[in-house]
Structure 1
């Protein structure tokens, strides 16, 4: 066996990590969204980031 990490196989690996500091309002919105949509904080963050794509200048 090699040193390869074990985990569930995926077609969409997520090798990048970020840390974010939030103010209380942003945290409250994030918590409410996660509860409403039954998603993790990371899934909510990914969704939010993807909503920025249309604003990118070509």
Structure 2
């Protein structure tokens, strides 16, 4: 029997899907931020949530 192939299981899987609606200006600002910092929109939104939660 051959060993399992593929990616190993993640310790913290991202299996929850969230849909967000933005207006044109907010989306433009988000895309500019992401391009400047070389990150994805998802990464930027996760960082924003973390910052909000740190402000308790």
Common fold: TM-score over 0.5: yes
Task: Please report the RMSD computed on the Cα atoms of aligned residues, expressed in angstroms.
Answer: 1.8
Q: Give unmatched runs, 5+ long, in structure 2.
A: 1-5
Q: Give unmatched runs, 5+ long, in structure 1.
A: 1-5
Runs of 4+ in 1 over 4 A off after TM superposition: none
Trace 1:1-58 onto structure 2 (pairs within 5 A).
Answer: 7=7, 9-56=9-56
TM-score, with length taken from structure 1: 0.71
- The structure whose Rg is larger is 2
Question: How many pairs were matched up?
Answer: 51
